[in-house]
Amino acid sequence: MISRAGLPLEDLEFVQFHPTGIFPAGCLMTEGCRGEGGILKNSEGEPFMARYAPTAKDLASRDVVSRAMTMEVREGRGVGPNKDHIYLHLDHLPPDTLHERLPGISETAKIFAGVDVTKEPIPVLPTVHYNMGGAPTNWKTQVLTMKGKKYDGKNDHTEASMKSMTEEIVPGLMAAGEASCASVHGANRLGANSLLDLVVFGRQAADTAAELVKPNSPPKPIPKDAGEYAISRMDAILNRQKGIPTAKIRTQLQTAMQKYAPVYRNGDDLRKGVAIVADVVKLYDQVTVEDKSLIWNTDLIEAMELENLLSQGYQQIVAAENREESRGAQAREDFPDRCDTKWPKHTLTWQSEKATEKMSVPLTYREVITQPLDDEMHHVPPAKRVY
């Protein structure tokens, strides 16, 4: 919504993959499975995580486990008829432990994978789980935008261009949780960091609202035509007689993103993916629905949600292609190392046109806040993460 309103989104290239999504349904098997002793094994029956993280093994962080699983599949050690996934073993754990510590896991595996976890392994594959990026915010959860000179293109990394744009608070707009990017997660969110989203910034959003909105203050005036554009977009979908079904466009987007912007990325694939996704986005002005009613129309809802998927997917793959380094969840095979001279900065992506099917994705950047805002905590410099 804010992207279509002309505000930037930050760091969309950083996408966290959860290691254990049920294959092929995608429903998550909690990391508690491995926390309670679950073991990932390849087609040779090898508990392979010991090769990738000798100390942490199956308890390594999500991105490390996801990449290890991806490497096993790519090197021909995947399981199943097509050798395209991995097995998660819980069958060596006592059934009482599974029932007590992992309630619901047995049922989920039975429904979505058809396996009895006390006797059979669960087929799993890394699944997109969390976006580190979102609406840029300050620590008070106020959404920020950038004003001033725009960059001379994505390869403009000059300090002058960085300094030419200044942050501005968007009045009355706040964001917290996965929709926001206060960037406490950096390029790689850890599991327990969801508490930051929920407890810290959820409460701060309430405190900020209480600070800004005085009791009994009158409502702010809104334009007389507010909402008319959105209604016209909805009407166009409902009244379109011939076109392309939502599911067909969505499948094209999903296929392109999975193929060209997966766990491991490279420049050639990303460039192809940017071009393909750009073409898919243009199809949105042909989306059509079978259900033309206004009562509980899930067909219409999915068509409207598709616009959000197209905009964010396009911005995500453009940002991923642009960041020529590996940092956190962004793993580039052609740029395997982190570059702390050129890339310690936020990517800002913009939707160039309000109508998503006409959009391109201009890029700008934003400085990273590297120092604490008070003296309670000392500065922690970036360091290489090793296992």
Q: Which amino acid is located at 65 in the chain?
A: V
Pairwise CA distance, residues 273 & 56, whole Å? 34
- Report residue 380 as tokens: 């922690």
Pairwise CA distance, residues 106 & 99, whole Å? 8
SS (H, E, C) 73-99: HHCCCCECCCCCEEEEECCCCCHHHHH
Catalytic residue selected from 4, 34, 51, 62: 62
Contact present, 11 and 101 (Cβ < 8 Å): no
Pairwise CA distance, residues 8 & 370, whole Å? 21
**323 catalytically annotated:** no
Q: Which amino acid is located at 166 in the chain?
A: T
CA distances from 273 to 260, 291, 312, 335 (A): 5, 32, 14, 18
Cα Rg of the chain, angstroms: 23
Bridge-based pairing state of the strands 345-349 and 9-10:
antiparallel
DSSP E strands in the chain: the ranges are: 9-10, 15-22, 39-41, 86-89, 122-131, 135-136, 142-148, 165-174, 180-181, 244-245, 264-265, 287-288, 331-332, 345-349, 363-367
Q: Which amino acid is located at 275 in the chain?
A: A
| Four-point Cα dihedral 93, 98, 198, 5, nearest 10 | 90
Query: Hey, which residues are catalytic here?
Result: 62
